[in-house]
Amino acid sequence: MFDNLSDKLQRVFKNLRGEGKLSAENMEIALKEIRLALLEADVHFKVAKQFIEAVKEKAMGQEVLTALSPTQHVVKIVRDEMVKMLGQHQARLRTANEPPSVYMIVGLQGSGKTTSTAKLARWLSKNGHSPIMVSVDVYRPAARKQLSVLARDLKLPIYEGAQEETKPAELARGARKEAVQTGRDVILVDTAGRLHIDEELMTELSELKEQLNPVEILFVADAMTGQDAVKSADEFHKRLGITGVILTKMDGDARGGAALSIRAVTGQPLKFVGIGEKPDAFEPFHPDRVAQRILGMGDMLSLIEKVEETYGQKEQEEMQRKLIEDEFTLGDFRDQMKQLRKLGPLESILGMMPQLGPLKDLKNAKIDEKEITRLVAIVDSMTERERFNHMIINGARRRRIAKGSGTSVQEVNNLLKQYAQMRKMMKSFSGGGFLGKKLGKLKLPMGFGS
Ligand SMILES: Nc1nc2c(ncn2[C@@H]2O[C@H](COP(=O)(O)OP(=O)(O)OP(=O)(O)O)[C@@H](O)[C@H]2O)c(=O)[nH]1
Ligand SMILES: [Mg+2]
């Protein structure tokens, strides 16, 4: 359902990449395009505005990962903000201190409450719980029957109530009693829907809430209704205090804006999504996975993750400072090389960046791990002073270093040349991409490019 948005965002990033260097102007254009793409996907305008502001602020800020190219850096910021907009972490269901935990399922007519109740019961029983369902939709006999049929098909317990139990409160009481007697830890209460939010419905739901003391009030929202779903979620929250949202019909061709703005507007997390009519078409909502799906750039995102894992933020800041203040020593050079090795085989990293211009020719390059080892050995054979100030490394010192590292003077010379080159490059691209531009233009000791 995010196809359109995904296509548009990817085009924005592709254009950015084509620009080579990031400027304030092309960044401005990109942000405008991202905003438009969000609005076209039916994201709430306030949410889109906030999103763009946050991305802008971060992009202009100082937190630059030198291991990423400027465009990759922007992608990272957009990804981070998107995950944040979607709720950051997976929101898990709460449980009561003393079982059974009561979950009320509420929402407008036809949004998918009954279906979701059965789906959730199935999911819970597959995840270590023993739920019991009850329908308190007393207005339509068919509604209770619907849940009974679902329960029977899924072989899941349901409290069907006695003949004389005709009020929601009575049914709920009966269900609790049965849950306690049979040792169920969750009671799922499927409630009646209305076409619109009205006083009668809200009063009934409030009374039920009072009586049942639920730990979760899950609002079921139909993704196909777009902004209306967001609006009613917000109203339900104000009137009843919902604790989470189940977004159904995500398999439809809606534009996805509801999913993207419900959290930001209501402040309540999406907990599950319905992605079809079948009982198993239901899954917990993972902000990071959804953001990934929207951005679509699986390969680039996993590279970014890898770089984030490898480079601590502290180290990054320190490296950044050194570059700016011209303190990038041979020791740092060695550390960078070691980091590069930690990233894994260079081939796989190159493979993740199919469209990276300067690196294209290097795709078939052989990576010589031994070369990195040799380079590290050379730097290790230097004295602390030499590493700190490469200018003092004269002929005699070069011979000593070559001997100490089991290499030749020629190799030591090469390394010093590469280091000087790298310093120059890094300075001119300060804040730019170590793995991007620099790697592309530098002759690194990896057996390629020469
Ligand atoms: N495609 C799709 N259809 C769904 C999904 N969830 C529910 N439906 C369908 O939506 C319709 C309404 O679902 P119900 O569960 O009966 O909705 P409800 O909120 O209980 O409706 P009322 O009880 O009348 O208020 C049914 O035809 C379901 O099969 C979903 O995730 N995807
Ligand atoms: Mg129903």
Prior bond to 100 cis, omega within 30?
yes
For residue 220, list its beta bridge partners.
Answer: 107, 246
Q: Please list, in sequence order, all residues whose beta carbon lies within 8 angstroms of the beta carbon of residue 199, skipping any fewer than 6 positions away.
A: none
Query: Using 50, 70 and 90 to split pLDDT, how confident is the model at 115?
Result: very high
Ligand 1 centroid to Cα of residue 382, in Å, is 71
CA of 249 to the centre of ligand 1 (A): 8
Tokens 């509420």 locate to: 106
Closest CA to 250 of 225, 286, 230: 225
Q: Please report the pLDDT score of residue 146 as a whole number.
A: 95
Residue nearest to atom 14 of ligand 1 (CA): 112
Q: Do residues 138 and 170 touch, judged by C-beta distance below 8 A? A: no
Domains and CATH numbers, the chain: 3-89 (1.20.120.140), 101-285 (3.40.50.300), 312-441 (1.10.260.30)
Distance between Cα 274 and ligand 1 center (Å): 9
CB 284 within 8 A of CB 271: yes
From the CA of 219, how far away is ligand 2's center (Å)?
13
Q: Is the CB of 294 under 6 A from ligand 1?
A: no
What residue owns the CA closest to ligand 1's atom 21?
Answer: 110
Q: 288 pLDDT band (50/70/90 cuts)?
A: confident
3-state DSSP call for residue 396? helix
CA distances from 109 to 21, 216, 222 (A): 52, 20, 10
Closest CA relative to residue 117, chosen from 24, 196, 219: 219
Given the CA of residue 111, which atom of ligand 1 is nearest to it? 19
Q: Is 275 in the pocket of ligand 1 (CB under 6 A)?
A: yes
DSSP per-residue letters across 106-125: EESTTSSHHHHHHHHHHHHH
Stated pTM of the model: 0.70
Copy the structure tokens of residue 444: 């690194």
- For residues 218-233, average pLDDT: 92
Ligand 1 neighbourhood includes 405 CB (under 6 angstroms) = no
Confidence of residue 370 (pLDDT cuts 50, 70, 90): confident
Task: Encode burial over 320-355: b for 16+ CB neighbours within 10 A, e otherwise.
Answer: beebeeeebbbebbbebbebbbebeebeebbebbee
Query: Would the CB of 274 count as within 6 Å of ligand 1?
Result: yes
Q: Is 109 in the pocket of ligand 1 (CB under 6 A)?
A: yes
Q: Which of 190, 192, 183, 252 is nearest to 224 (CA)?
A: 252
Phi then psi dihedrals of residue 242, to 5 deg = -80, 160
Tell me the two tokens of residue 436: 């991007």
Quote the pLDDT of residue 442: 33
**pLDDT tens string 413-439:** 999 988 887 777 656 554 444 433 333
